[in-house]
Amino acid sequence: MPDLTSRPVAVALVEQALVAAATADGTSGDVVRVDRYSTHPDPPAVRYGATLECRDGWKLFLSCYGTARPGAARPEQPYQPLSHI
């Protein structure tokens, strides 16, 4: 179990970081569209993640899941409508 001593972070921020990392290698010009799930008014079951559509027709699907810290209760509603960016 990793030591999670830092403060909690909104899952949407992790989603944004995943997209930034996926497009940061200098080939971001190959990505023609990014669809972040947390920005949807009615997100899919994954709730956090993104689909990156590339110029050559490939699609990259990223998903992000939040977890509760040991001893902390999980939220009743995994998607927090006001947590998206």
Q: Are 85 and 13 in contact (CB under 8 A)?
A: yes
Q: How many domains does the chain have?
A: 1
Total Cβ atoms within 10 A of residue 61: 11
Residue 17 lies in a domain: no
The answer to whether position 8 is within a domain reads: no
For residue 37, tell me if it sits in a domain: yes
State the pLDDT at residue 57: 92
The pTM assigned to this predicted structure is 0.65
- Is the pLDDT assigned to residue 69 strictly greater than 80? no
Report if residue 43 sits inside a domain.
yes
Q: Is 40 part of a structural domain of the chain?
A: yes
Better-scored residue on pLDDT, 58 or 4: 58
Which distant-in-sequence residues (6+ apart) come within 8 Å of 55 by Cβ? Answer: 29, 30, 31, 32
pLDDT tens sequence across 1-44? 566 666 777 777 888 888 888 888 766 578 889 998 888 888 77
Tell me, what's the pLDDT at 46? 74
The single residue listed with the structure tokens 């996926």 is 22
In a domain, 75, yes or no: no
